[in-house]
Chains A and B, each alone.
Chain A
Amino acid sequence: MTALHEAPPALRPPDEKPVKKSRFKRDRSLLLMVIPAVLLLIVFNYVPMFGTATAFQRYSIYAGFWHSPWVGFETFRQLFSDPLFWSALGNTLMLSLVQLVFYFPIPIALALLLHSIMSTKIRTIVQSVVYLPHFFSWVLAVTIFQQMLGGAGALNQFLRQNGLGTFDAMTNPDTFALLVTSQVIWKEAGWGIIVFLAALAAIDTQLYEAAAADGAGRWRRLWHITLPGIRGVIVLMLVLRLGNVLTVGFEQMLIQRGAVGRDAAEVLDTYAYFYGVVNANFSLGAAASLFKGVLSLLFLLAANKIAHLLGEDGLYRR
């Protein structure tokens, strides 16, 4: 068997083994450099990955992984018969869908708008401001939202002073999906424009000039040149988003679950956390995570397949 990275046959000396050995010897220090990262990933990513096997056990802290009894799909039967699990799955999908519809187009629109601004000064100012919230923690972002939209927040001060009643967006389960989406927009939409801005900058300006010479107005140029020019990036972002359809900001949910209530704010990740760590039902939590992980992988592959059918590269080239 020959590995993909070896030199083409014409250049390869007749005897392969010593070559491999000398390459190992040559690259010893490079391999040495890789070791710390690989070790950390093995301990904190690969061992837990195999530790997912606790989903098929009745795990007990006292018995540990090696001595807990194996129960097959028992835990999954328990999981699938739990109405709270289905409610968490439903919430996850619903929140994801609302974000897909209301969040996804915003960075694109913002990037188009910013790209059309001629003044580099204005562009730089706007960019530095809108990138900033990406670097705040969810604790900070939610705190800021609470001070703005919460029961004692700035919005309600204003409403009360003008005799318009009050509206506490932070504890209302009915509007929770919109609240979550507006938080994601506030925190991430600015940062999200970077990729689109770069794609826009890469479009050949001669195309615009030729189109203008042919009499295409600014909207026609937007439709026939700009949008097709960034189509690949849009599809890539969409594929990544669909692959993450079962992931809605874990910390964001965790922080707000208490105020809004489990019925609206429980998602798959918080379900796994509360059952697994807080209630110490480790196997059920691990089962919920495994279910999510496998389904996410399938979603990602499916979304990538669709991208290929649309004639785009998606995650990787065909």
Chain B
Amino acid sequence: MTVVTPPADPNRRNPNRPNWEEPPTVAGQTGKGVVLFLVVAVVAIPLWMVLLTSLSTQSAVNEAGGMVLVPDGITFAAYEQIFTNQLVMHSLVVSLGITIVGTLISMVVTILCAYGLSRHGSFAHRPILLLLVATMFFSGGIIPTFLVVSALGGYDSYWSMILPTAVSVFNILVVRAFFSNTAQDLIDAAAIDGAGEWRTLWSVVLPTSRAVTAVVALFYAVGYWNTFFNALLFLPDNQKWPLQMVIYTYTLQGNAMPGSGQNTTGQYFGTQEITPLAIQMAVVTLTLIPILLVYPFVQRHFTKGVLLGAIKG
């Protein structure tokens, strides 16, 4: 057996580059490299500074004059502070609760609806689909939604963080597109074996659709985790606030955070070793962590999830 190797071309460093393509110019390569580096830096550097500032001592923050770019003095004091702060911890629990319960409800409703509409020629699936899609192009607006949710008793209660936004028609379309592509012979085989629709969904369709359900679950979870406006509308009491409201009030608007004896001036929070900035950035980091934790596992499925929805929807 002989292995035919193509002649090595000294100008072609990358084996992926097709033969007909001219070798890259030095200027072109450098330009692309610089642009890509800048693009990544613009996203990464602020995040790095947030993280580092949350881990910095008072003197390091003073030295830097605010946000810290280069590690100087590292301390976990800010995190010790927020983990004993009743308001921050409570809002963390609220945010986690809204996210977990909300995502579960949304996923059940979305998967059921998507499956119910995925069969070609099933009874009334077209008018129902139209009913769904129409909501993407026209909505009642803020005021009527506010009035309806309030009338149903949503004011000052947690369900108003979940139910009004529980269904995303876009996500239903994404999942439905995926389900419609499930091999018909698999479904037929299940039917012949005597499986009902529920059984088919659970044991045939769902196991083959892990990618899309992962992406859609991430979309929902991020939406709930980022809940801000609904909380502003419906939760007047800071004892019920999710994390985003805490950041809005105590970091963005610069109000003094309750829960510590010595913050009458708004300058210091607890012991004087820690700046409010470090505390603020620790809370910001706290809201970033869950996203950063889940993101790598779901990221490779993005293109599939987003595109199916975009094409079929």
- Give the B-binding residues of A (Cβ under 8 A): 3-7, 20, 23-24, 26-27, 29-34, 36-38, 40-41, 43-52, 54, 59, 64-65, 110, 113-114, 116-120, 122, 125-126, 128-133, 135-140, 142-144, 146-148, 152-154, 157, 160-161, 186, 190, 194-195, 197-198, 205, 208-209, 212-213, 217-218, 243, 250-251, 254-255, 258, 269, 272-273, 276-277, 282, 285-286, 289-290, 292-293, 297, 300
Give min CB distance, A242 to chain B, whole Å: 13
- Give the A-binding residues of B (Cβ under 8 A): 14, 16-18, 20-22, 32, 35-36, 39-40, 42-44, 46-47, 49-50, 53, 64-67, 69, 108-110, 112-113, 115-117, 119, 121-128, 131-132, 135, 137-149, 151-152, 163-167, 169, 172, 196-198, 201, 218, 222, 225-226, 228-229, 232-233, 244, 247-248, 251-253, 281, 284, 287-288, 291-292, 295-296, 299, 302-303, 306-307, 310
Give min CB distance, A132 to chain B, whole Å: 6
Apart from A27-B123, A143-B284: 5 A-B pairs, beta carbons within 8 A: A33-B115, A37-B112, A48-B140, A137-B225, A138-B226
Which of A59, A122, A139 has its CB near the most chain B CB atoms (within 10 A)? A139
Check if B303 sits within 8 Å of A33, measured CB to CB. no
Interface of A is mostly: helix
Check if A289 sits within 8 Å of B142, measured CB to CB. yes
Check if A23 sits within 8 Å of B123, measured CB to CB. yes
In the complex, what residues of A have CB within 8 A of residue B42's CB? 186
With A27-B119, A30-B115, A117-B32 as given contacts, are A258 and B143 in contact (CB-CB < 8 Å)?
A: no
In the complex, what residues of A have CB within 8 A of residue B138's CB? 49, 293, 297
Check if B148 sits within 8 Å of A33, measured CB to CB. no
Give min CB distance, B234 to chain A, whole Å: 10
Give min CB distance, B214 to chain A, whole Å: 14
Which of B22, B64, B117, B148 has its CB near the most chain A CB atoms (within 10 A)? B148
Check if A212 sits within 8 Å of B20, measured CB to CB. yes
Check if A153 sits within 8 Å of B66, measured CB to CB. yes
Task: For the complex, give the distance between the alpha carbons of A23 and B39 in Å.
Answer: 55
Interface of B is mostly: helix
By beta carbon, the residue of chain A nearest B65 is: A157
By beta carbon, the residue of chain A nearest B31 is: A113
With A37-B109, A126-B40, A289-B142 as given contacts, are A139 and B306 in contact (CB-CB < 8 Å)?
A: no
Q: Which 6 A-B pairs have the closest CB atoms?
A: A289-B141, A48-B140, A51-B144, A137-B226, A37-B113, A33-B116
Task: For the complex, give the distance between the alpha carbons of A130 and B42 in Å.
Answer: 9
- Looking at the complex, which one of B142, B226, B307 makes contact with A194 (CB distance below 8 Å)? B307
Give min CB distance, B275 to chain A, whole Å: 11
A-B contact count (CB 8 A): 275
In the complex, what residues of B have CB within 8 A of residue A208's CB? 18, 20-21
- Looking at the complex, which one of A4, A154, A209 makes contact with B18 (CB distance below 8 Å)? A209
Task: For the complex, give the distance between the alpha carbons of A144 and B218 in Å.
Answer: 23
Task: For the complex, give the distance between the alpha carbons of A142 and B281 in Å.
Answer: 13
In the complex, what residues of A have CB within 8 A of residue B296's CB? 128
Check if B197 sits within 8 Å of A29, measured CB to CB. yes
In the complex, what residues of B have CB within 8 A of residue A46's CB? 135
Task: For the complex, give the distance between the alpha carbons of A116 and B22 in Å.
Answer: 13
- Looking at the complex, which one of B43, B197, B232 makes contact with A30 (CB distance below 8 Å)? B197
Check if B36 sits within 8 Å of A113, measured CB to CB. yes
With A24-B123, A133-B43 as given contacts, are A116 and B252 in contact (CB-CB < 8 Å)?
A: no
Give min CB distance, A170 to chain B, whole Å: 10
Check if A3 sits within 8 Å of B172, measured CB to CB. no
Check if A157 sits within 8 Å of B143, measured CB to CB. no
Task: For the complex, give the distance between the alpha carbons of A36 and B163 in Å.
Answer: 11
By beta carbon, the residue of chain B nearest A21 is: B123
Check if B197 sits within 8 Å of A157, measured CB to CB. no
Give min CB distance, B161 to chain A, whole Å: 13
Check if A161 sits within 8 Å of B137, measured CB to CB. no
With A131-B299, A297-B137 as given contacts, are A31 and B144 in contact (CB-CB < 8 Å)?
A: no
Give min CB distance, B173 to chain A, whole Å: 12
Give min CB distance, B55 to chain A, whole Å: 15
Task: For the complex, give the distance between the alpha carbons of A30 and B67 in Å.
Answer: 55
In the complex, what residues of A have CB within 8 A of residue B252's CB? 139, 142-143, 146, 255
Check if A148 sits within 8 Å of B142, measured CB to CB. no
In the complex, what residues of B have CB within 8 A of residue A277's CB? 142-143, 146, 233
Check if A5 sits within 8 Å of B126, measured CB to CB. yes
By beta carbon, the residue of chain B nearest A211 is: B20
In the complex, what residues of B have CB within 8 A of residue A140's CB? 226, 244, 247, 284, 287-288
Task: For the complex, give the distance between the alpha carbons of A117 and B31 in Å.
Answer: 12
By beta carbon, the residue of chain A nearest B123 is: A27
- Looking at the complex, which one of B40, B121, B306 makes contact with A125 (CB distance below 8 Å)? B40
- Looking at the complex, which one of A47, A148, A272 makes contact with B46 (CB distance below 8 Å)? A148
- Looking at the complex, which one of B64, B164, B201 makes contact with A44 (CB distance below 8 Å)? B164
In the complex, what residues of B have CB within 8 A of residue A136's CB? 226, 288, 291
In the complex, what residues of B have CB within 8 A of residue A205's CB? 18
Check if A126 sits within 8 Å of B36, measured CB to CB. yes
